[in-house]
Amino acid sequence: MSSSTKSSLDSKVVVVPGGTGNVGEGIVRAFLKAGATVIVPSRSRSRLAELVKLIGPELAGQLKTVAAGYATFDEADQLATKLVTDFGHIDHVVASVGGWWAGKALWQTTDDDWQKVFVDVATSHMALARSFVPRLSEDGSYTTIAGFSSQKPYPAAGIVSMQGAAQLMMRQALSAELGGQRRVNDLILGPIINRSRPGGDPDWLTSDQVGEAAVGVARTPSITDEHVVLDNVDDLKKALARMAA
Ligand SMILES: NC(=O)c1ccc[n+]([C@@H]2O[C@H](COP(=O)([O-])OP(=O)(O)OC[C@H]3O[C@@H](n4cnc5c(N)ncnc54)[C@H](OP(=O)(O)O)[C@@H]3O)[C@@H](O)[C@H]2O)c1
């Protein structure tokens, strides 16, 4: 590893929308361990309080929780403006927003399902990118977390796949438009072992390992405009070796 090309995260400010979630928790913990100040916005004060407990007193000192949503362009703009005012700069954003849903074929989808699983999540991702990317520090990065279903259709979970595909294309469009001015990447995850699903195949990543990968992406200038596919532990090992090179 060349320290001249890797940025320390000690004085960095990292925003993790979705940090209260199953995967987000591991991302928050990994950035705190790496020395960053981590800001987690949420619609729910009780989920923020639960996150602080899960992280524990040893690491929670640099965890800053903000009871604020980002469901609309206005809300995300207000959030980003407030964070820049309060913290002075935003270095990295890792958006781990949205979750799993299944049970209906596309032709059975209701208005409510579509709104909740596609429209609300896609709008939040777009609102976050729209408000935060232009405010990132010059050496900052934006990473969006997606699932395997964004590249492969799953029967009875089609609207999750459609939202994930839109999210990946949003990242690619950002890359095309930014032309290297800021680093943007996505992590495409396989199934993740987490607090809601503590068991699983030993090849699956844990949410803490997703965090390790997200920290690696934030610290590695050569990783830019990429799909970082992390289906299993072997993929993670290869990605981390590349980040350490
Ligand atoms: N869990 C897995 O095994 C797995 C596998 C592959 C990929 N992923 C990906 O990882 C990401 C996070 O998944 P997760 O399992 O951590 O989900 P989760 O536990 O349900 O957490 C979702 C997070 O998204 C936030 N959120 C904000 N607006 C939302 C909206 N309109 N609808 C739903 N959530 C919203 C929630 O924040 P609030 O505090 O405001 O509620 C919450 O922190 C997703 O992109 C998912 O595709 C997960």
| CATH, residue 160 | 3.40.50.720
- Ligand 1 center to 21 CA (angstroms): 5
Q: Ligand 1 pocket, 131 CB below 6 A?
A: no
Q: Is the pTM for the entire model greater than 0.75?
A: yes
Query: Is 216 inside any structural domain?
Result: yes
Torsion 12-214-47-164 (CA) sign: positive
DSSP single-letter state for residue 21: S
Query: Is 68 inside any structural domain?
Result: yes
- Ligand 1 center to 240 CA (angstroms): 24
Query: Is 5 inside any structural domain?
Result: no
Query: Is 96 inside any structural domain?
Result: yes
Query: Is 18 inside any structural domain?
Result: yes
Return the pLDDT at 61.
97
Joined tokens for residue 195:
């607090």
Angle between helices 207-219 and 233-244 (to 10 degrees): 20
Ligand 1: residue whose CA is nearest its atom 45:
146
Q: Ligand 1 pocket, 206 CB below 6 A?
A: no
Query: Is 6 inside any structural domain?
Result: no
> Domain of 83?
13-244
- Ligand 1 center to 4 CA (angstroms): 35
Task: Output the tens digit of pLDDT for each of the chain's 245 residues.
Answer: 444 455 679 999 999 999 999 999 999 999 999 999 999 999 999 999 999 999 999 999 999 999 999 999 999 999 999 999 999 999 999 999 999 999 999 999 999 999 999 999 999 999 999 999 999 999 999 999 999 999 999 999 999 999 999 999 999 999 999 999 999 999 999 999 999 999 999 999 999 999 999 999 999 999 999 999 999 999 999 999 999 98
Query: Is 156 inside any structural domain?
Result: yes
Q: Ligand 1 pocket, 237 CB below 6 A?
A: no
Nearest residue to 141 (alpha-carbon basis) of 71, 226, 237:
226
Q: Which atom of ligand 1 is nearest to the CA of 43?
A: 40
Query: Is 118 inside any structural domain?
Result: yes
d(CA 93, CA 109): 32
User: How many distinct structural domains can be found in the chain?
Assistant: 1
Q: Which atom of ligand 1 is nearest to the CA of 25?
A: 16
Return the pLDDT at 35.
97
3-state helix, strand, coil split of the chain in percent (to 5) is 45, 20, 30
Nearest residue to 231 (alpha-carbon basis) of 189, 201, 185, 186:
189
